[in-house]
Structures are given as structure tokens and as C-alpha cells.
Amino acid sequence: MRWIRGMWVGRVSEVGGGGVPAGGVPSVRTLSVGAASAGATSAGALSAGVASDATAPAGVGPARGGPHVSAEVSGALLSLERLNVTFLSPHGDVHAVRDLSLAVAPGECLGVVGESGAGKSQAFLAALGLLPTNGRATGRALFGSVDLLTLRQPELDRIRGARIGMVFQDPMTSLTPHIRIGDQIAEPIIRHIGASPKEAKARALALLNQVHVNDAERRMRQYPHELSGGMRQRVMIAIALSCDPVLLIADEPTTALDVTIQAQILALLAELKRSRGMSMVLITHDMGAVAGVADRVAVMRGGAVVEGGSVGAVFKAPRHAYTRELLAAVASVAAGRAGESASAGAAEAGASTNVGAAEAGDSAGIAAAEADAVVRAPAAGGRGTVAAVVPTLVLNDIRVQFKVRTTPFGKQQTLRAVDGVSLELAPGEALGVVGESGSGKSTLARAALQLIRRQSGRVVWFGRQVDALAQNALRPLRRDVQVVFQDPLASLDPRMTAGDIVAEPLRVHRPDLDRSGRDAAVVRALELVRLDPALATRYPHELSGGQCQRVGIARAMVTRPQLLVCDEPVSALDVTVQEQIVNLLAELKRETGVAILFISHNLPVVRQLCDRILVLYLGRMMELAPAESIYSLPLHPYTRELLASAPIPDPTVQPARLTRSLVGEPPSPLSPPSGCVYRTRCPHAVAVCAERVPLWEADGVRSVACHRWRHLAL
């Protein structure tokens, strides 16, 4: 972090194309506390002009060259008028926001949607005076009658954190690591309201309870690194609400979270909007998130608004092609296989019908689903009846444990990351492994790749047991086993060009190839992942996130492997890019016959690609079944909750889904519950669930570990 122009400025981010650095992301303390020189004066003088209620809906203006709708709306709380944001760089000016006009009325939620580089975040950072030193903003940003762009830092500090709260995207880098949670929440209360430390601590505790942080008194004494991602985001929301702001700006508040925690955070934001009557801006790339919370939506692309209106109107009849593209991407993920399309609303209605039929005792429906699953089971190179071939990968009773200390001098405890997981992966099959963070998905993948030590279990590649093989004996086999990592940028060497990155495995596994042979193989690999070979001379920072991930896939495919392990390969990407990458993997599977172990926390994404799905929770297997059976009639309550938590881009359905979101977070893997590890969050738990670990029971082509699955399926 650096102290610049009276504020802390953090990591470098990107705006626009070409990976040009735009500047820093501010610390949360910049917004809630203000500059070091700022006083604790009330914001009353500056907020006096804010209207108390709206007489007309706020307008949204489209891009330059199209029909402009004025943002000067009677009673608007925040109006951005002809806002332009430009960043100076050695490569020339980068125009992040172009003639942006939009407004937020009191009590409403405006969803601002678009892909990375659309200018969503930069527009509101500019309005709050949080641009880095190379950023320039012109136009007007009216907060009531006050133009925020004309205010000096001390004047802005009386508004930021007091009248306008902001929730940043990454809570871990936004919270101060060496300050306790309670002190971070109390700090803006003391500065802006003038409360005593004792009063501020009491208010901080009340805020933690309001945002549904369990065991709030203990959390007050903890540091950010001791909390989960969902808990840290709730703390961020508590800080933003600490001084009762009239406007809350939430910048991608759910991007890095599990699907169940995403649903909880969105439900919390909707609840806070209702209970406090405050205005809200929800910045996101996910149309499903907007559908459940926002009243109006503004779709941004290339720094300008291309479409705006009520959520119902935009979702029902989108006018702009880009809006239709965003909705189609989410609907495709929610609907099914890559290349298939269906209405998200119909999918939701169908799921409700299936669950209702199951609860009514429709055993015929279960039998039909299982019969369909047998027909659709994968074979080498595609779907159909499974042939009697040697499995590509076999994992038998894998157990992985770690010794950890919760305090520097405390006693070592055993963390069971993977607890008795078994699976088989056939040639040409795609098997999805899903679950929340901490469920053991990535640990299982590392164990399968022989990258970490196991306590017990057996690993077999292509019919050969590899447990006892020395590294020199294992190395030739690694040519046929490759991996695609989660973060497309961090997994590529920034000092190497894309071509050199793709060629690197050939230098290890194909030393017989000369330079021309390697270059030809690199061109084929880039074309295989639908990348222009001309991009081979570019460095990772000169590529988009989707292009970087394609380079990572090309690097994995250049040796023509038989097994591809994908560890959360799309979680860091925009929804449209997610669809492209999943479609690409599906095409590679069909064209090359490669087997894929696909790890994700997002069940709808897995549905597009995978033939079968394994659900993990706290390192244990919950359910294993053909993909269509999982989505039509899930047997385990946890599988049902994962499906119910996935956002649906339908404003008539999604708000009700949020009210039913799964409560709480997974317990600590250091002290898992007795019996069934899911019982503390399961709405169907009974006494036997605490007494005995459920058996792993097979039912045709499906397997499940639940004491009550037969009862719940009726």
C-alpha cells in the first residue's frame, strides 16, 4: 500500500483493453475513515441537499452516438452526468468511462452490469475521488446538490464512509491485516459520528449480528486472516453500514465466493435494502445476481451504457445485442450442456416440478431418470454405454491429512482434508468434482497428480499403480497427465511469451523436437484452443483473462495428454468468458478423447461439460451420479442446496430463491461434526445423523451418503 494524495492506494488493476495499468485499488479504510488529515466533522452540511424521496425513476443514458437519456431526475440521490474517466499511461491515454450518465433514486437498487474492462468500478471510484494519480475524471457526479468531483479531500472525507458506504470486491486485501475486526468496524463510527470507543464497540457488535456473523463477540477479537471469505465480506458490509449511509455501493461483492455464500451475501444485501430503505448500487458481471436484488439495471460495455431500464423489462425483452449475449451466457450455464440452450425460468420451473414430484412419492420419475442416466453414461470419445476399457484414473479410498497449529505455540491438530474418496474416470469421460471451499476438491486433485503425500489410498494412472514409483519413473507418465490452474494470469510466467509458455512442456517431454518442430506444435496447440498464432509473441499481461486461460489450456494440451485436470479453471472469469472456456473444453474432449477431471464450486458450470458429478463436503463424498440425474432428482440435501443457491437470471424467480438460501458456513475441518458432517446445516437432520456416519450406498448408477435419502426421495 502507498500513501498518495491523502489516501492509501493498493494493488494495480486493469481497465479497458490491452492490460494497461490503470492504477490502484483503495483500502477500505480510505473510504470509511478518510485521509489522515481529515477531521470527524458531520456530513450534514454537504448532504443537506439530498432529496428524501423520488418522484420519478432515475434515467440511464446510453453510449455516445445513441439517444441520450438525461440523468437529471427529480429527487435523484446520486447522478452521474457525462462522466468521463481517463488514465494516463506510457502507451497513451486509456478511456475507461465515456460520457456516462445514470442516476440512483432514494430507496432503489441500481444494478450496473458488464464484463471486466467495461468501466463499472472506475465510474464509481471516480465519483468518490478514489482514482489513482494517473486518473482524470470530468463531468459531474451529483450527490444530492453537491458535485463530488469539485470537492477537496477533507470535504470528501465527510461524505465517504458517513453518507456513502462502499463494499470492495476483495475483502482480504481491503481489510487491514494487523487490526482486529471489532476495531476496524468501530474506527469510522468514532471518526464520523464522534462516539466513544465503548459506544463504537457496542455498535460494531450490533452490526456484526445484523449482517448475520455467527459468534459475533468472538469475531470482534479476531483478525481478517482468521475469517472465511464469506465472513470477511460480511465484515466489509458491516463497516460500510457503520455510519448509516444513505447510499451503499457494492463492487463485485460476490465474485470470489462459493455459490452458497454468494446467495447468502445477495440475500443479505436485499434484506438490508428493505429494512434500511437505503439506496444501493450493485456492480457485477453476473446478470443472475442483479435479477434477485436490483430494481433497475444499466448494462455497460467499453466505458458506456448500452442499455438501461427496469430489471423486468430488460430481462424480458433486451434490446441491445450485448445484453442478450450476457443473458444467454447465464441461461446457457443454468440450462445444461455446452451448446444447448433453454429458458432459465423453465429450468427453475422444471426443478420445482421434479422436487415436488419426488416429495409426492413419484418413484417412477426416479426410475426414469436412472434409466436415462444409463443410456447417457460416457464411453471413450463420447457418450453411450461404457465400454470395458482400462480406466484413465482410479482413486481408491484416498485420505489426506495435514498437521496444523491454530496458534504459534499451540498443540498440533489434524485436519482431514480428504477422507476416504474413491472414483474412476473412463477414457473420454468428464467427471466434475464440486463443493464449497474447504471441501477437499483441490487437495483431491493434487493427490491424484502425485503432488502431495497421502496418508492412505491407491492412485492408478492408465492401469498402472503410481503410488510407489520414484520421480524418475513417474516423469515419463506425466506427459499424459496435465493440469489447468485456477488463476489464468498467476499460473503463467510473466517473463515468457505465450509461445514460449506453450512450448515449455515440449522441452521437458519431447527433447527430440528441434526448434521448428516445437514451433509447429505450438501453432497447432494455439489453433486447437481457438487462439490466433500471432498472439504467440505476446506476454501474459498483454492478453485478456480468457486469452490467458486459453494459453494455459494450450500448454496442457500441447503434449496430447490422456488426462486433463482442471482446477477451478473459470472461477476468476466473466460469465461470457466462462461459457467460452467450458465450450472449448467440451470441444477438446470430443475432438481428442481426453478424459477431464473438472473441479468447481459452481454446479451449473459443471453441468455444461461433465458426464458424471461427485459432490464433496468437508473432505467426504456426499453423492456421485450421472449429471442429468444430479440436476433432475438430486438425492443428497447438500446437492439440492448447491443447486438452489445458483443464481437464475429471472427477476420473477430469483428473489424468492434468495430468501431460501442456505444459512451459515461449513464448520471447521479441524473439528467436524460427529456422524454426518453435513448435519449441522441440513434441514432434514435427525438424531441418527449425529450418531453414525452414513454408509456410501449404491442405487443403480448413483451413490449417496445420507441416512434419509430414501425418505427424502419419496
pLDDT tens profile 193-237: 999 999 999 999 999 998 988 788 989 999 998 887 788 989 999
Which helix (H) or strand (E) segment holds residue 341: the answer is none
Cβ neighbors of 244 (< 8 A, separation 6 or more) are 276
Q: Is 372-713 the same fold as 2-16+25-175+230-319?
A: yes
Q: What order of strands is seen across the sheet that includes strand 620-626?
A: 481-484, 563-567, 595-600, 430-434, 612-617, 620-626, 702-704, 697-699
> In this structure, are strands 164-167 and 247-251 parallel, antiparallel, or unpaired?
parallel
Cβ neighbors of 447 (< 8 A, separation 6 or more) are 395, 398, 400, 418, 454, 457, 459
What is the CB neighbour count within 10 angstroms for residue 194?
12
Torsion sign, CA atoms 636, 637, 640, 646: negative
| Separation CA 640–CA 387 (nearest Å) | 31
pLDDT in tens, 486-545: 888 788 999 999 999 999 999 999 999 999 999 999 999 999 999 999 999 999 988 888
Show the beta-strand stretches assigned E in 260-327: 279-284, 296-301, 304-310
pLDDT for the residue 671? 87
What is the CB neighbour count within 10 angstroms for residue 9?
20
Classify domain 2-16+25-175+230-319 at the CATH topology level.
Rossmann fold (3.40.50)
pLDDT of 652 above 50: yes
Which helix (H) or strand (E) segment holds residue 198: the answer is helix 197-210
Q: What order of strands is seen across the sheet that includes strand 2-4?
A: 2-4, 7-14, 21-26
Please say whether the beta carbons of 590 and 382 come within 8 A: yes
CA 112 → CA 77, 120, 250, 304, distances in Å?
A: 16, 7, 10, 11
Mean pLDDT across the stretch 249-277?
88
Find the Cα–Cα–Cα–Cα dihedral 446, 447, 453, 457, rounded to 10°.
Answer: 170
> In this structure, are strands 247-251 and 279-284 parallel, antiparallel, or unpaired?
parallel
Dihedrals φ, ψ of 18, to 5°?
75, 5
pLDDT for the residue 660? 83
Considering the chain, what percentage of its residues have pLDDT values greater than 90?
57
Which of 273-277, 397-401, 444-448 has the least mean pLDDT?
273-277
Cβ neighbors of 371 (< 8 A, separation 6 or more) are none
Mean pLDDT across the stretch 630-634?
92
What is the CB neighbour count within 10 angstroms for residue 631?
23
Look up the pTM and report it. Answer: 0.75
Mean pLDDT across the stretch 685-689?
95
Collapse the DSSP code of 449 into the 3-class scheme (helix H, G, I; strand E, B; otherwise coil) and give the result.
Answer: coil
Cβ neighbors of 433 (< 8 A, separation 6 or more) are 441, 444, 445, 597, 598, 599, 600, 613, 614, 616
pLDDT for the residue 312? 94
pLDDT for the residue 607? 86
| Separation CA 31–CA 370 (nearest Å) | 55
Which helix (H) or strand (E) segment holds residue 630: the answer is helix 627-632
The C-alpha cell that represents 603 in the structure block: 454446479
Characterize 503-533 residue by residue with b for buried, 16 or more Cβ atoms within 10 angstroms of its Cβ, and e for exposed.
bbbbeebeeeeeeeebbebbeebbebbebee
Dihedrals φ, ψ of 133, to 5°?
-65, -25
pLDDT for the residue 336? 54
| Separation CA 395–CA 410 (nearest Å) | 34
The C-alpha cell that represents 545 in the structure block: 483473462
pLDDT for the residue 91? 76
| Separation CA 56–CA 266 (nearest Å) | 26
| Separation CA 31–CA 43 (nearest Å) | 14
Mean pLDDT across the stretch 250-255?
88
The C-alpha cell that represents 400 in the structure block: 489426506
Dihedrals φ, ψ of 697, to 5°?
-105, 135
Mean pLDDT across the stretch 295-302?
95
Nearest to 269 by CA among 111, 418, 496, 375: 111
The C-alpha cell that represents 18 in the structure block: 490491452
Characterize 537-574 residue by residue with b for buried, 16 or more Cβ atoms within 10 angstroms of its Cβ, and e for exposed.
ebbbebbbbbbbbbbbbbbbbbbebbbbbbbbbbbbbb
What is the CB neighbour count within 10 angstroms for residue 56?
11
First to last CA, the chain: 57
Give the model's confidence band at 333: pLDDT under 50 very low, under 70 low, under 90 confident, else very high.
Answer: low
Which of 258-262, 354-358, 560-564 has the least mean pLDDT?
354-358
| Separation CA 217–CA 203 (nearest Å) | 12
pLDDT for the residue 171? 83
Cβ neighbors of 272 (< 8 A, separation 6 or more) are 210, 211, 237, 241, 248, 278
Angle at 327 between CA 323 and CA 332, to 5 degrees: 145
Better-predicted residue by pLDDT, 48 or 683: 683
Residue the block writes with cell 441440513: 682
| Separation CA 41–CA 44 (nearest Å) | 9
Mean pLDDT across the stretch 678-689?
94
| Separation CA 152–CA 399 (nearest Å) | 59
Which of 65-79, 176-190, 249-263, 448-462 has the least mean pLDDT?
65-79
In this structure, which amino acid lies at residue 650? D
pLDDT for the residue 491? 87
The CATH class of the 372-713 domain is alpha beta
Mean pLDDT across the stretch 465-485?
90
pLDDT for the residue 712? 87
Domain boundaries, the chain: 2-16+25-175+230-319, 372-713
pLDDT of 12 above 60: no
pLDDT in tens, 111-132: 999 988 899 999 999 999 999 8
